[in-house]
Amino acid sequence: MKRRVSILIILVTLAFGTYPLNFVSRNDLRVNSESKTLEFHVQSRENESPLRAIAFTEEQLTQENEKAFSIKLSLQSFKRPNGLGMIATIFDGDEPPSLIIAQWQNHLVIRSRRSRDDASRGYREIGLRDCLDQGQRRDLLISSDESGTRIFLDGVLAKEAKGFRLLDPNSQTDGQLIVGNNAQGTQPWTGNLEALSIYDYTLTPDLKIESSQSPIIEYDFSVRNGTRIPNQVQERYVLKIPASFKPLSREILSPMAEVDFSTKETYADVLVNIFGFVPLSLVIYYWVSRRQWHFSKVALASLFLVFASSLTIELTQVFLTSRNSSTLDLICNTTGGALAILLAPVLFRLARTFSASD
């Protein structure tokens, strides 16, 4: 009976840790030709769908003019992300990405990678508060040159950050353009993207182009060639929309710095991960304690097995398209295991007492 209960607890814990067990899932991105929009994470707008979405260029975006860079976006956010929701990034394989344009709560966040000598966190950040309310359509123009960066919201200058450049000339700036998520697929943005253009020169406050040059990227989302959105300006930088979701990079144990501790969902997740590992930890302690070792040796051996079990689940999640491998989860699982192991002698003694009284 004890063996059967133990096996059941192990299987239930593994099921919760790996559900849904999908190594391949549908890309939750819809191209709406009528409204000329890309609709990201359609399923998760009304429920907590495990599906993820991503679009990206297979070619690396080459920054030919190191002095200036501008990006225009017309978008509509439909859900506050848990942490950062990546609207657009330029990713060259290193972390942090060269450029991040994201949503945090209802704020706009812009991060530009810097060398460690220039910024302790590896990036500099500017933003715009309370500009991405749910369901509200916004036109964004972010234009940068040697003097700094200007953010225009619906055609009006909303912020100017002197000395801040979108792409640091002292850092590698070439990379793939990724839309609607990060390269690892762990920071989804939920909303509609109506327009996306990139320029290698500055745009003036009246939104008129200073140069006769055309943009280097301009997408018309009503034009589609299978799983690809062609660039209207040139043959390069076609936006790929794969039928199945697959991240461009795998992240093993995402760092604590990516956790948003300002949301109730995060603390709920912490509690679930702590107490969710208590039953498995008690099972492990029970079978290890049968070896008649000293408590300290039993406790250490049990804690190691708890840690190994949690690590196995987190490593499995690396390959699951709907789960995130997280350092925080590993810490919480191990913490819950430690609490269970400390209380186990008392709990088992009480259980034997009640069993004997019956």
Instruction: Give the bridge partners for 149, in sequence order.
Output: 144, 161
pLDDT at 292: 87
Q: Which of 5, 173, 210, 179 is nearest to 75 (CA)?
A: 179
DSSP 256: G
What are the pLDDT tens digits along the chain (358 aa)?
A: 688 989 999 999 999 999 888 888 899 999 998 889 999 998 877 776 678 999 999 999 887 777 889 999 999 999 999 889 999 999 988 888 999 999 999 999 999 988 655 556 788 999 999 999 999 999 999 999 999 999 999 999 999 999 999 987 766 668 999 999 999 999 999 999 999 999 988 887 565 554 556 899 999 998 887 789 999 999 999 999 999 998 999 889 988 888 888 888 899 999 999 999 999 999 999 999 998 899 999 999 999 999 999 999 999 999 998 889 999 999 999 999 999 999 999 998 888 887 766 5
R_g over Cα of the chain: 25
Architecture (CATH level 2) of domain 26-245: Sandwich (2.60)
Q: Which residues have a Cβ under 8 Å from the Cβ of 33 and sit 6 or more positions away?
A: 221, 222, 224
Q: Which residues have a Cβ under 8 Å from the Cβ of 336 and sit 6 or more positions away?
A: 273, 274, 275, 276, 277, 278, 281
pLDDT at 22: 84
pLDDT at 45: 78
pLDDT at 205: 58
pLDDT at 307: 97
What pTM was estimated for this model as a whole? 0.89
Q: Where in the chain is the domain with CATH 2.60.120.200?
A: 26-245
Distance of CA 37 to the CA centre of its chain: 22
Q: Which of 135, 130, 136, 64 is nearest to 103 (CA)?
A: 130
Q: Which residues have a Cβ under 8 Å from the Cβ of 144 and sit 6 or more positions away?
A: 68, 69, 70, 150, 164, 165, 166, 167, 202
pLDDT at 212: 54
pLDDT at 206: 67
Instruction: Give the bridge partners for 73, in sequence order.
Output: 140, 196
At residue 278's C-alpha, the angle toward residues 277 and 283, to 5°, is: 100
pLDDT at 330: 97
pLDDT at 236: 93
**Secondary structure of residue 29 in the 3-state scheme:** strand
